[in-house]
Chain A
Amino acid sequence: MGKPTTSGQPTRKQGELLRAEGVVVKFGSKTVLDGLSLSIDSGENVAILGGSGTGKSVFLKLVVGLLEPEQGSIHLWGQSTEGLDEDAWIPFRRRMGMVFQSGALFDSMSVFENIAFPMRQRGDSDEGAIAKRVEECLAWVDLEGVGRQTPSELSGGMRRRVALARTISFEPEFVLYDEPTTGLDPVTARKISRLIRDLDTKLSSTSILVTHDIECARTVASRWTYLAGGKIVADGTPSELLSSGDEDLREFLLGGDPARDLPLGRKRQ
């Protein structure tokens, strides 16, 4: 990765899992992504950082085929996803998992049914094995015994953990996290961040984390990219981005640190 780079055409590499080239997305007259290019290799854990409304979540939706770019292309595992219909997307989506910002648990199903859903969708019919796997996943997120409850009976943090359990239930190769800690208290947010880090290690999966929670990005990702003006404007290791001379980037990364600009003597006040 080297030094932070400005956006450009990524070159095709061995083991490349995702390649986005010149992606443009517009909503009405507003251009959300403006020629975004990004390449991610298998095994990488990448955080996409940026302020609200910069198109981070829109990019994730392009990657899973919930939106189509107006221009540019998305390649997954070396194959173009251009013009694919819903049925043609299924083989790609079976290798991917996504944790939604709101959790997106199915209200009409119990927690158990929610976690079993992706497995059943993939054709698993051994109910005994599914039940065992659901229990394992619930234990992993520290929520044993809540299988019979409905999502409405759970707290916000518990719902995010169930959403994580649902995503790991089928051990996807590629996991996308859309603002997994937004709206949570700092303690719960830290817990979720650690769970995501452990999940990536446990499954050896590739992941993209979209967030503006620097603490979460620090825990989970070894590569950071910074999105502004619809493009990736910086890409590198966390320390490379933190030492960048770009004022906007520094403001974004360090602006939330209350101790940063304070003289040492005032820190304890």
Chain B
Amino acid sequence: MAIQMSYFFSSLGEFSEYSALVVRRIFSRRYTFDSLLTQMHRIGVESLSVVNLCSFFIGLVLVVQTAAMLTRFGAKSQVGMVVSASFVREIGPVFAAVMFTGRIGTGIAAELGSMVVTEQIDAYRVFGADPIGRLAVPRVLATTLMLPPIILIANLVGIFAGYLLARFHLNVSGDIYLDRSFEILTHTDLVGCVIKGVLFGLTIGLIATFVGLKTERATEAVGLSTTKTMVRGVIAVLVLDLMLAKILVAVQS
């Protein structure tokens, strides 16, 4: 147990040091604007479809679950309010971040891990290029910049899925559903959503690049790095979400 704790804290220390280095490298501009755009495009395109598909089904499930309960109290028309508040405040950001870790974070770790195994990272260093500045920074920036819009789109998709089910299956008026959906939301909800997106994106990017660049030179090491990224990424997102929820609730009240 003592050994595990010591390993945990030394890894955390190393990760903090790495994170500080990445932030410094963001400002020293060793990456090209083209490489940042390439990563943003790749990360956006790769994650949108899977995140939106999941959001669509979660939106449907939310309506099915809440409508049954609300009907008992004669409040079926309020279903839009429940779907929208749940999505924007909690489900949208967390679920999108978890899917993002699985789709993008693990991909980044596998890509950088393969570069370690095939000595490409060593080659970068030998030719005088900085792998953190050239490879990690554009990926971390791209995850940080792309997750907030992905979360906002996922929220809209989830609310829209709920709208379809409420209107065509539960016979709730579409206007009422939409009115209730947007009535409940405040500016703090939207700002909170963006803040969560930025912090989750930054954390996932940092964990994925850190784990990827620390991949060992062994056959099973790349697979191990993707698993580590998934586990650490999801735990970090959930812990951060709890902290942010406390802060946002305090701000709102």
Contact = CB atoms under 8 A, between A and B. Distances in A.
Most buried by A among B122, B123, B130: B123
Interface in A91-117: 93-94, 96-98, 100-102, 104-107, 117
A211 to B, nearest CB: 17
A118 interface: yes
A153 to B, nearest CB: 16
Contact of B128 (A101, A104, A107, A122): A122
B10 interface: no
A105 B121 CA distance: 10
B213 to A, nearest CB: 13
Contact of B122 (A90, A94, A96, A104): A104
B128 A98 contact: no
A106 B128 contact: no
B125 A117 contact: no
A66 interface: yes
Contacts of A86: 125, 130
11 contacts: A66-B122, A66-B125, A66-B126, A90-B128, A93-B128, A94-B128, A100-B119, A101-B119, A104-B120, A117-B127, A121-B128
Most buried by A among B115, B120, B128: B128
Contacts of A106: 120, 123
Interface string A51-68: 000000000010011100
Contacts, number: 47
A100 B126 CA distance: 10
B127 A121 contact: yes
Contacts of A100: 119, 122-123
Contacts of B129: 117, 121
B245 to A, nearest CB: 39
B125 A96 contact: no
B127 A93 contact: yes
Nearest to B118: A102
Interface in B93-135: 114-115, 118-120, 122-123, 125-130
A217 to B, nearest CB: 22
Given A90-B128, A97-B126, 16 more contacts: A64-B125, A66-B122, A86-B125, A93-B125, A93-B128, A94-B128, A96-B126, A100-B123, A101-B119, A102-B119, A104-B118, A104-B119, A107-B120, A117-B129, A118-B127, A121-B129
A53 B251 CA distance: 61
A104 B130 contact: no
Contacts of B127: 93, 117-118, 121
Contact of A93 (B114, B119, B126): B126
A93 B125 CA distance: 8
B122 to A, nearest CB: 5
Interface string A115-142: 0011001100000000000000000000
A89 B125 CA distance: 9
B65 to A, nearest CB: 45
Interface in B115-164: 115, 118-120, 122-123, 125-130
Nearest to B123: A104
Contacts of A64: 125-126
Contacts of B115: 107
A61 B129 CA distance: 16
A64 B119 CA distance: 14
Contacts of A61: 122
Contacts of B122: 61, 66, 100, 104
Interface in B168-185: none
A94 B114 CA distance: 25
A90 B130 CA distance: 10
Contacts of B130: 86
Nearest to A94: B128
A117 B115 CA distance: 16
